[in-house]
Structure 1
Amino acid sequence: MEAYLVDWLNLFFRWFHVIAGVAWIGASFYFVWLDLNLKTPPQWKKDKGIKGDLWAIHGGGIYEVAKYELEPQSMPEKLHWFKWEAYTTWLTGFALLCIMYYWGADQYLIDPTKMLLTQFEAIAISLGFLVGGFVFYELLVKSPLQYSPKLFGAILFAGLVFSAYALGEIFSDRAAYLHVGALIGTIMAGNVFFGIMPAQRELVRAIEAGEKPDARPAQFAKLRSTHNNYFTLPLIFIMISNHYPMTYGHEHAWLILALISFNAAFVRHYFNLKHQGQNKPWILVAGLVFLFGIIGYMLPKPVDMTDELIADNQVLEISKQRCASCHAAKPTQVGFAAAPGGIMLETLDELLVNKPRILQAVQSNYMPLANMTNMTEDERTKMIRWASE
């Protein structure tokens, strides 16, 4: 019953998380596009305090959009705020973290071959990384480095790469990737809560009080919004990476994450420049070449097949010890109500039918999950050789 309940909680919060994330990222992309596409308005609009405008067509109608330098001539009766998309995405994401990796720490978070941890210790380390990483970003963004974008970006990127490496030495491979994503998501939501929203509230307060608004908080909020824009594509990659163990299961998974994230942010830069009228297709070409380089680097190493052939009964015995506790008609592993993916590995016939899946899962270190059954490297090599025959 507990496993069934966990599955439903997982489904509900994952669905909610994706919906909220789509709303947040969609709004973020739209407003960045909007801001970068604003054109110099006619004089009569400038006289009203309008900084830029644009015309667009969508849904059978033509829209006229204008952005004020700071304050409009009068405060509108209804002002739409964009914040709950970000808050809901973070809250549902943290709920998923608790359900999958805290509640199920023994299955998904802790890898005993890397570090022997209790559930409490693993959760404490997880929360420590999230809080520590967020504090690191806040100190960085509030320092004079905010005025040196390239140096700021290099230091921040180095910090995230270090986090990926350190987490990969502590937690299971998939959990390490997920935690880097959770850290980025926390920074992004923190930008909204601690930076963007206070600046917007101060702007509204000044206008309502009849004061001249201070431009500095708004400029700082714009900086944070820009950071979130570059975080978006790496974060989306991490969100879907759990379906592709060839990434987080690589022997240098932290480097793969760093390379793909850098490339994603680099490609995002192309679109930001394009929105400003600077078309630089060489960025896309370079990004594609870089991606092919990553793909080549990630190619699985060939298995040495010169040794003696692995007998079927040897693999069946390994499967019974390391795989069948989950991949069975009635799993005995705590937290599993049914065989993952409907794949059962209790008999030789089942192993033979699933040979390609076994090869991919074992070769990428995807299975066993977090190596909860303590599969040895010798056993893994034997299964790879057998599945490759």
Structure 2
Amino acid sequence: MSAFFLDWLNLLARWFHLVVGIGWIGASFYFVALDLELRKREKMRPGVYGTAWQVHGGGFYHVEKYLVAPDELPPDLIWYKWEAYLTWMSGFALLIIQYYANARLFLIDPNVLDMTPGEAVVMSVATLIGGWLIYNRLCRSKLINYPAALALCVMALIIGAAYLYTHIFSARGAFLHVGAFVGTIMAFNVFMVIIPNQRKVVASLIAGEQPNPAYGREGKQRSLHNNYLTLPVLLMMLSNHYPFLTGHPQGWLVVALVVVVGGSIRHFLNRTDAHDPFHKYSWTVPVAVVGLGILVYLTAPARTTSEGTVSDAQVMAIVDKHCVMCHAVKPTHAGIDAPPKDIAFTGPPALIRYKPLIMAQAVQSQTMPLGNETGMTEAERQELGEWLNAH
């Protein structure tokens, strides 16, 4: 299949992934906010836990939540599940199209771990499944009675996964896999716990039995985990566009800070929706600000000096060796029909024109060449940076 059709397949899968992902995230945000806004009122129907009055689009809505379930279910009960299922399936399809099919470019970096594409794919699938199994075991241990301790353990699991990925995959592949790792946990929470528990409650009602409230409590716990993981996973999925994140030598630390900042922001929004007194969650503001400040500091580019000793001929020799097989008017790299981002390095003026991008992608990080396929050395990166700084 030509690169043109692969690009279209990638684009359509990404578009679909974005659409269903918005639906899933929107439902998660809405139902958690709704749950926090429920209030007990006079004359509620039997079994109702709380109600909420809402206005949107010119109409008023009155929503009720039952403590376990109503005595009878209507025939038009709406299930929220396909948004989660399709988000994970389309995301995994993108993983196959972008990373598995082009493992040597996007997933493998010989300087990190030299392996075959098959070995890389096996490691990817095994760690995604293993992450869910460990997470699920944690949630069904005695930690379920200690939500804060459980949250810390889940955070440690994610940071551990980030450390592992940065030691087996390329920088881009590692950060993307952290997002896939968390996204798999979130989707499997829906597929393996939340929906099956809801089906058990429905089956009990149909059989005329009293549903077990434990099913609802477990489903709510997993749903809340998904809600808090949403902001970090979104940034992980966008990280490939920002080499100052993926190219950091301590990528696991960057992931840890992203989890802390994202979780703090999500907690601030949730407690605001719950109308809690501000002093009870005011700590989230300094935590998010300080965490973000540390992130900016850690990812700031190192200052370099230039003596102007690298000639035009030397820098073009480096570019010809490592860059122009892709970034040429007519690329020679297999599977690439046109220069990425329409950038062609036709000579020194083109390098100067795209200086910020080259500095970010090939000097201050090792994002380019992809997977360091051509074996670009640190000395060559320094020479390239010296020449660019001199111009």
Identify the match of residue 248 of structure 1 among 224, 234, 246.
Answer: 246
CA contact (8 A) 2:39 2:50 kept: yes
Q: 1:85 offset after TM fit, Å?
A: 0.2
Identify the match of residue 196 of structure 1 among 180, 194, 197.
Answer: 194
Partner SS, residue 241 of structure 2: coil
Q: Partner residue of 2:77?
A: 79
The one-letter amino acid paired with 2:44 is K
Q: 1:115 offset after TM fit, Å?
A: 1.3
CA–CA distance in 1 between the matches of 2:349 and 2:261? 43
The one-letter amino acid paired with 1:311 is S
Q: Equivalent residues in 2 for 1:315-326 (5 A)?
A: 315-326=315-326
Q: Partner residue of 2:381?
A: 380
Identify the match of residue 163 of structure 2 among 162, 165, 168.
Answer: 165
Q: Partner residue of 2:172?
A: 174
Cα displacement string for residues 264-289 of structure 1 (whole angstroms, at most 9, x for unaligned residues): 11111111222222223442243123
CA contact (8 A) 2:24 2:87 kept: yes
Partner SS, residue 80 of structure 2: coil
Q: Equivalent residues in 2 for 1:83-102 (5 A)?
A: 83-102=81-100
CA–CA distance in 1 between the matches of 2:193 and 2:385? 50
Partner SS, residue 56 of structure 1: strand
CA contact (8 A) 2:179 2:237 kept: yes
Identify the match of residue 236 of structure 2 among 235, 238, 243.
Answer: 238
CA contact (8 A) 1:161 1:258 kept: yes
Residues 1:364 and 2:362 aligned together: no
CA–CA distance in 2 between the matches of 1:146 and 1:70? 19
Cα displacement string for residues 192-219 of structure 1 (whole angstroms, at most 9, x for unaligned residues): 0110001110111111111111101111
Cα displacement string for residues 230-287 of structure 1 (whole angstroms, at most 9, x for unaligned residues): 1100011111111111101112222112111211111111112222222234422431
Give identity over the alignment, percent. 42
Cα displacement string for residues 337-382 of structure 1 (whole angstroms, at most 9, x for unaligned residues): 1111111113223223222221122212221112112111100111
Cα displacement string for residues 10-36 of structure 1 (whole angstroms, at most 9, x for unaligned residues): 001100000010000000000000001
Cα displacement string for residues 34-65 of structure 1 (whole angstroms, at most 9, x for unaligned residues): 001000022x314x221100101100011111
| Unmatched runs of 5 consecutive residues or more in structure 1 | none
Q: 1:304 offset after TM fit, Å?
A: 4.0
CA–CA distance in 1 between the matches of 2:283 and 2:157? 28
Moved more, 346-355 or 205-214: 346-355
CA–CA distance in 2 between the matches of 1:312 and 1:165? 39
Partner SS, residue 180 of structure 1: helix
The one-letter amino acid paired with 1:369 is L
CA–CA distance in 1 between the matches of 2:170 and 2:383? 22
CA contact (8 A) 1:41 1:51 kept: no
CA contact (8 A) 1:316 1:351 kept: no
Q: 1:308 offset after TM fit, Å?
A: 5.6
CA contact (8 A) 1:21 1:85 kept: yes
Q: Partner residue of 1:301?
A: 302
The one-letter amino acid paired with 1:196 is I
CA–CA distance in 1 between the matches of 2:18 and 2:296? 27
Residues 1:310 and 2:310 aligned together: yes
Q: Equivalent residues in 2 for 1:1-389 (5 A)?
A: 2-42=2-42, 44-46=43-45, 48-278=46-276, 279=278, 280-305=281-306, 309-362=309-362, 363-389=364-390
CA–CA distance in 1 between the matches of 2:75 and 2:284? 44
The one-letter amino acid paired with 1:14 is R
Cα displacement string for residues 162-182 of structure 1 (whole angstroms, at most 9, x for unaligned residues): 111111111110100011111
Q: 1:69 offset after TM fit, Å?
A: 1.3
Moved more, 86-95 or 67-76: 67-76
CA contact (8 A) 1:330 1:338 kept: yes
Give the paired residue count.
Answer: 386
Moved more, 70-79 or 239-248: 70-79
The one-letter amino acid paired with 2:322 is R
Partner SS, residue 166 of structure 2: helix
Partner SS, residue 178 of structure 1: helix
CA–CA distance in 1 between the matches of 2:178 and 2:255? 9
CA–CA distance in 2 between the matches of 1:154 and 1:89? 26
Partner SS, residue 267 of structure 2: helix
CA–CA distance in 2 between the matches of 1:3 and 1:376? 28
Cα displacement string for residues 118-146 of structure 1 (whole angstroms, at most 9, x for unaligned residues): 11111111111111111111111111111
Cα root mean square deviation, aligned: 1.3
CA–CA distance in 2 between the matches of 1:387 and 1:304? 10
The one-letter amino acid paired with 1:248 is T
